[in-house]
């Protein structure tokens, strides 16, 4: 049965590839809407980028909503140093012509979940979790309609990528992440421990470009732009790919392995704010709340990505 999903996103090149992967998988995924949140770049950029990606893929039937312009309690931290001024630097995208919906993204999430059957909709969080957290605070009854929350965020074995201890999506709005992780819904986390193994080698980027359609070429161009920062930071021969793992997990969960454990978020310490405290070895008695993925079938992931982007325009 197809998964009905809402994608909450802050595009970002890797968000862009994740969105394209979802759009290229109609047998498994029905995208109900995209909600943009401030994160990699400010909200005015992320909502525009979401519409650009839908237009490139020929899916202007999918509505785009603007969510929150800043974290719940803290000033916004962005990542233009990785994603460029627009967030989608690399390809040349036209300005979007499809409309932005007037309804606030948080209210769209609430209305969609209230109208859903029990456990019907999966929330895919590709950026800071501000929108979903505020929806849960404003309307706690919506958990009834949530099948699963699948998010890219957090880290344990790999440390952080914005501070020594924190992963970017959690760091930007740790209070929101804390609310989501405590909501009682089924949660699957794709952390840096997985995404740092999913490396976009030159051969893999070449396969995307060789598809020859505009979505495959755009994906390759986006990743070639964003990789320059990670190549310099890590000294690796290829850069990690983050957000598309959320969508790949929905399409083929067998690509990933992990365990169900307790994960909490550090909120108070200035040194470790936004750190995910991952009880991977069950050394506490805190209740398990997250399916925490630890490894991926990387070749299988890239085979899937190439296959699905090939069906797009």
Supply the DSSP string of the chain, one letter for each residue. -PEEEEEEE---HHHHHHHHHHHT-TTTEEEEEEEE-SSSS-HHHHHHHHHHHHHHTT-TTS-EEE--SS-SSS-----HHHHTTTSS-SS-PPPP-SPPPSS-HHHHHHHHHHHSPTT-EEEEE-S--HHHHHHHHH-GGGGGGEEEEEEE---STT--SSSSS--HHHHH-HHHHHHHHTS-S-EEEE-HHHHTTSEE-HHHHHHHHHT-SHHHHHHHHHHHHHHHHHHHHH--SSEE--THHHHHHHH-GGGEEEEEE-EEE--S-TTTTT-EEE-TT--S-PPP-EEEEEEE-HHHHHHHHHHHHTT--
Q: Single out the residue of 1, 6, 2 nearest to residue 246, CA to CA.
A: 6
1 confidence band (pLDDT: 50, 70, 90): confident
Query: How high is the pLDDT of residue 133?
Result: 98
- Distances in Å between the alpha carbon of 123 and those of 46, 81, 217? 18, 28, 28
What are the residue numbers of the active site?
242
Query: How high is the pLDDT of residue 221?
Result: 97
- Mean pLDDT estimate for the chain: 97
Query: What's the average model confidence in pLDDT over 218-241?
Result: 94
- Residue 209, exposed/middle/buried by CB under 10 A (0-12, 13-18, 19+)? middle
Q: Quick check: 45 and 15 in contact, CB under 8 A?
A: no
Query: What's the average model confidence in pLDDT over 72-96?
Result: 96
Q: Model pTM?
A: 0.97
The string of pLDDT tens digits covering residues 239-282 is 999 999 999 999 999 999 999 999 999 999 989 999 999 999 99
| Residue 49: how many other CB atoms lie within 10 Å | 29
The radius of gyration of the chain from alpha carbons, rounded to an integer in Å, stands at 18
**Whose structure tokens read 């047998």?**
27
The string of pLDDT tens digits covering residues 116-148 is 999 999 999 999 999 999 999 999 999 999 999
């Amino acid at each position: 049965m197809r998964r009905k999903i809402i994608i909450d996103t802050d595009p970002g090149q890797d968000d862009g590839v994740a969105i394209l992967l979802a759009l290229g998988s109609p047998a498994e995924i029905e995208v109900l809407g995209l909600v943009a949140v401030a994160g990699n770049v400010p909200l005015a950029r992320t909502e525009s980028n979401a519409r650009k990606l839908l237009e490139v893929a020929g899916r202007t039937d999918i509505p785009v909503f603007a969510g929150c312009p800043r974290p719940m309690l803290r000033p916004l931290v962005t990542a233009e140093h990785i994603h460029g001024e627009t967030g989608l630097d690399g390809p040349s995208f036209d300005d979007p012509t499809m409309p932005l919906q007037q309804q606030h993204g948080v209210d769209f999430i609430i209305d969609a979940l209230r109208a859903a059957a029990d456990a019907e909709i999966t929330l895919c969080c590709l950026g800071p979790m501000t929108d979903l957290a505020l929806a849960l605070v404003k309307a706690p009854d919506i958990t009834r309609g949530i099948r699963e929350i699948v998010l890219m965020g957090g880290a344990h074995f790999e440390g952080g990528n914005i501070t020594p201890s924190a992963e970017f999506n959690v760091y930007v709005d740790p209070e929101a992440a804390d609310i989501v992780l405590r909501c009682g819904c089924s949660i699957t986390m794709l952390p840096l421990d997985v995404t740092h193994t999913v490396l976009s080698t030159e051969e893999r980027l070449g396969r995307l470009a060789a598809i020859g359609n505009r979505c495959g070429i755009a994906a390759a161009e986006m990743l070639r732009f964003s990789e320059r920062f990670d190549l310099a930071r890590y000294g690796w021969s290829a850069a990690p790919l983050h957000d598309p793992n959320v969508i790949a997990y929905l399409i083929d969960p067998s690509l990933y392995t992990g365990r169900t454990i307790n994960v909490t978020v550090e909120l108070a310490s200035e040194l470790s704010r936004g750190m995910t405290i991952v009880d991977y070895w069950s050394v506490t008695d805190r209740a398990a709340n997250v399916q925490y993925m630890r490894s991926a079938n990387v070749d299988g992931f890239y085979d899937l990505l190439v296959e699905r982007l090939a069906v797009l325009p």
